[in-house]
A and B are shown apart, each in its own frame.
Chain A
C-alpha cells in the first residue's frame, strides 16, 4: 500500500510540471508580460513605469529558456517560478502584492461554507430521489421526473441565481440578495440562498446519473435472487442496490471532494462571497498571473489527491480490488 501511494505521488510530479508548463504557455501566448503590465497599470502608464513593474516582479527575465550569454539557461521566468512552487512558496499577487498564502487561506473557509453543505445536501436529496425513481421506474411519475430533471439540467446556473435572488431576496425579502458576513449564527442568512441554488442547479444531472447507476444494479442477478427469496422492496433498495451502487458513486464523490475548497466561480461573484472562486475570477480579469498560476498549481494537486483517494477507496469498499 505504502509503495503504491509513494509511486502515485512520484507520478504526480511530472503531471503537475506538465500542467504548469501548459498553463504558463497558454497564458503568455495570449498576452506578453509587457501587455499584462499595461493592463494592470492602465492606459496612462509610461514605459518607465511598465519597465519598473516588470523588473520588480521578475517578468523582465526570458520566458522559458535563458539564452543570454553568461547567464544560466534556467534563469528564466518559468523555472524561477517552478523553483518557488516546488517548496510551496506561492509568492505574492502581481496586482496587490499580497502574499498568496494569505489570499488562499482567507478564501478557503467562505468557499467551503457554501460548497460543503451544498454537496452534502445535494448528494442526499439526489440519492433519495434517484432511489425513489428507480422504485417507480417506467411509471408516469418517473417520466415526469425525467422531464423535470432535463429541464433543470438545461437551465444555465445564471438563470437560477438571478431568479433566486429576485424571488427570494427581492420579492419575498427572506435573505440578503448579496453579501457575506462571517459572524456566528447570522452567517446562515448569507448561506441559505446560495446553498439552495447550488443544490437545485445540480439536482437534475445528479438524479439522472444516480438513477442510471442504480437501474444498472437493479438488473443484476443478485437482485433477482433477493426478490425470489422474498426480500422486501425497502431492503432491496436500501441494502442491496444502494450499497453496490455506491461503489460506482465513490469515484465521483471522492474525486470531487478536494475541489469543494476551490468554491464556485459564478455563484460567489453574484452573491459577493469572498471565496476562492471569487479570487480566481478577479485574477483572470485583472490579469494576475501569480494568482492564476497558484490556483492551477493547487487545483492540479487537489485533483491528483482526489484521484489517489478514489483508488484507495475502491480497494476499501470493493473486496475484488487489490492495490499492488
Chain B
C-alpha cells in the first residue's frame, strides 16, 4: 500500500511547504553550533599571530574586586591579573616559597624603629601606569606613585570599606587601629589626616612603620590589601552619577596596573579580561622550574607577559555543565569534583584511559591548609584528661574517612603545618594517629576502661557537627561510629554553619567538627597562632582554648624571627607540644585533582597564586583541531525527529478526517 502523505497532511505540512521547512531547519541548525562563547575581541594580534584566548570556569561572580576588600578565592582569581601587588610569589619556587618584587624595585629594606618595632623602606618602579580608564583625565592611565600606596593603607582603616585585613594589621601597622576607631566615631574617614604607619618619603618611595616586630608584613605586601589604588578611580566609581550616567561602585571597576583589565563583565554569566598593552612590570622567570619542564619553559624565560591575550571566565553554579564543556574542548581546564570523579578516574586513582588518549593531564594540588576537629580544653571532662584526648585521636581512622567521603584525594594530616610551610616535617607521624588497640589502652589509662568510668557508667560526649546536607549527616554518622568503637557514647548535635561557628566562639562544645585553616601566607606563624593562648575567641581563632605557657613562650619567640634553622627547630618543638597535648583531632590537608587539556599544559602549581593567569600558555592550533574533531554535528537524528513529527501529525489528521 502506498501512503499518500500529501493528502493526509494539513496544508502547512504538504510537501510543497517541505522545502521551505527544510531551508528554515537547515538555517537554524547552520546558525547553531555548540560553541557557547562569543567571538574573541579580535582574531589576530597586530603582528599577525593568533589572538590567544584562555577559557576557564568559576563558581560565582566575584563579590568584590576592591583590592582592600577582596579575600575570597573567586575574587582573588580575577583581581590577581588586574591589580598587581607590591611583592609577588615566584611562580615556580614553592619549597620554600619565595617572594620577589613586583611593583617595587627590590624587596623592602628593614630598619629598626626608634620607638620599637620596625620600618620597611620601599621604592616603587618608575614608569608603571594604571590602566586607561575614564576616571583619569582624557581616559589615559596615570603613573603609579607612592601616594597611591598611602591611599590604599588609609582605605584599610576606613570602616565603610570593610577591609578584612584590618583586624590583623591594626596590631602592627602604626596608627591603623586608631584611624579606624576615630573614623567609626566620626562617621566618616578623614583622608586628609596622615597615617603614622605609612609615610610617603618621595614620589616613588614610602615607609611602612610597624609598632612591633612582624616579619610576616612582607607576605601582606604580596596581597591585594596593600596594593596601590588610584584615588581618582574610587572617587569616580563610587556609585554616584557623572554626566547623568549612574555608575557602578569601585568594587566592580578595579583600575589596576596588572597585565589584564576587565573588558566585559556580564553579571551571573561571564567575565572577559583582555591584555593591558602597556604592561611591562614583570617578565617570565628565568629559573626555578622543575627539570622536566626545561624544554617547555626555557624558551619562555625572560619573555614579556602575559602569554595569552584574553581570558574568558564563565560562571558555572553546577558541575555537570563544566564536565560537558570540558569534554567538548570548550574549557581549557577543570577541577575534578565528585560528580565527574567516577567517569574520569580509575579505581586506582589514575585518569581513565579514554581521557589519557585525548591528551588530558591530571594534576594533584595540595592546598596549604589543615582541617581538624576541635577538642574543648575548658571542658571539665576533656580539658584535664590528656589521655582521653589522645585516645579519641587514636580511635579515629582518618584514612578510612578520606577514602569514603573524599575519594582518597586529600592527604592525612600528621601535624598542624601543611606541606610546603616552613617547619613542616615530611617524616613526622602523629603519635596518636589511628591505632584502635592503643586508643583502648589510652582510654583505660584515662580512667575509662572499656568506655566506662569508675562507677560503671558509660562515658558520653557530645559531638557538634555542621549538618546542612545528606553527605554531612552521613559523615557525622561515620565519625560518631569511629569514636564509639571505644565503647563510649557520642551524642551528635547537628548545627548550621553559623551556629557551629557561634558554639566554637562561645566554647559551648566538647568535640566539634568544621575547624580548619587555609594559609594566608606560607609562614608557620600563620598556623601556630591558632593555639596561642592570647588568641582566644571571639576575637581570636583558638577555638580549643588551648593554653600552654611553654607553647606561648616558644610561639612568641618564633613568630618574630626571620626564617632560619633555629626558627625551624622552634616550629618542630611547637608541633611536638601540640601532638602530645592533642587539642584537636587532625584530619587532612585538602587536595584536589585538576585536569588540563593537551593544548593548555600546566606550567605552575604554586598554591599561593590564584591561577597565575599571566603565566598560562596555550596552543591555539591544537585546540581548534581538537574542537572540530570532538564536535561534529550529525544531521540524521534531526531528520528522524522531524519525520516522526510529520508522521504523527499525518496519522492524527487522517484519523480525524476518517471520523
**Interface positions of A (Cβ within 8 A of B):** 30-32, 34-36, 38-39, 41-49, 52-53, 55-56, 95-99, 102-103, 106-107, 132, 135-136, 141, 162, 165-166, 169-170, 172-181, 183, 185-186, 188-190, 192, 233, 269-272, 274, 278-279, 281-282
Contact = CB atoms under 8 A, between A and B. Distances in A.
B404 interface: no
A162 B497 CA distance: 30
B72 A272 contact: no
Contacts of B248: 98, 102
Given A132-B656, A233-B659, A176 B269 contact: no
A203 to B, nearest CB: 14
Nearest to B652: A132
21 contacts: A35-B498, A38-B497, A41-B164, A44-B541, A46-B164, A48-B167, A106-B267, A165-B321, A170-B328, A173-B631, A177-B325, A178-B36, A178-B324, A179-B270, A179-B314, A183-B38, A188-B28, A188-B32, A272-B36, A282-B60, A282-B268
Nearest to A190: B36
Given A177-B34, A185-B31, A52 B63 contact: no
Interface stretch (B16-24, B145-153, B547-555, B633-641): B633-641
Contacts of A281: 317
A214 B573 CA distance: 83
Given A35-B499, A106-B267, A278-B268, A49 B164 contact: yes
Interface string B19-44: 00000000011011111111000000
Nearest to B632: A173
Contacts of B4: none
A167 to B, nearest CB: 9
B109 interface: no
A36 B501 CA distance: 11
B597 interface: no
B469 to A, nearest CB: 12
Contacts of B28: 188, 192
Interface residues of B, number: 65
B245 interface: no
Contacts of B325: 177-178
B31 A165 contact: no
Given A44-B71, A178-B321, 13 more contacts: A32-B498, A52-B184, A135-B659, A136-B655, A170-B324, A173-B328, A175-B34, A177-B34, A178-B325, A188-B32, A189-B32, A189-B33, A233-B656
Contacts of B324: 165-166, 169-170, 177-178
Interface in B244-280: 248-249, 251-252, 266-270
B332 interface: no
Contacts of A179: 36-37, 269-270, 314
A67 to B, nearest CB: 23
Task: Give 4 nearest A-B pairs by CB, closest first.
Answer: A35-B498, A179-B36, A274-B268, A176-B36
A81 to B, nearest CB: 20
A293 to B, nearest CB: 19
Interface of B: 28-29, 31-38, 60-61, 63-64, 71-72, 159-160, 162, 164, 166-167, 184, 239, 248-249, 251-252, 266-270, 314-318, 320-321, 324-325, 327-328, 496-499, 501-502, 505, 516, 538-539, 541, 631-634, 637-638, 652, 655-656, 659
Main SS class of interface, A: helix
A164 B238 CA distance: 44
Given A162-B320, A179-B314, A282-B268, A173 B501 contact: no
B317 A180 contact: no
Nearest to A95: B63
A272 B315 contact: yes
Contacts of B656: 132, 135, 233
Contacts of B72: 42
Nearest to B505: A47
B159 A56 contact: yes
Contacts of A269: 317-318
A56 B267 contact: no
Contacts of B38: 181, 183, 186
Contacts of A106: 267
A272 B655 contact: no
Contacts of A274: 266-269
A141 B655 contact: yes
A36 B184 CA distance: 22
B31 to A, nearest CB: 6
Which residue among B32, B325, B497, B652 has the maximum number of chain A CB atoms within 10 Å of its CB?
A: B32
A35 B496 contact: yes
B539 A49 contact: no
A210 B28 CA distance: 31
B316 A272 contact: yes
A278 B59 CA distance: 13
Contact of B162 (A53, A102, A162): A53
Contacts of B35: 176
Given A48-B167, A165-B321, A175-B34, A97 B251 contact: yes
Nearest to B252: A98
Contact of A46 (B60, B167, B328): B167
A146 to B, nearest CB: 16
Contacts of A169: 34, 324
B490 to A, nearest CB: 24
B268 A175 contact: no
A191 B269 CA distance: 15
Contacts of A135: 656, 659
Contacts of A189: 31-33
B619 to A, nearest CB: 22
A103 B320 contact: no
A161 B77 CA distance: 30
Contacts of A180: 269
Contacts of A45: 164
Contacts of A98: 248-249, 252, 267
A264 to B, nearest CB: 14
Contacts of B505: 47
A77 B248 CA distance: 26
A137 to B, nearest CB: 11
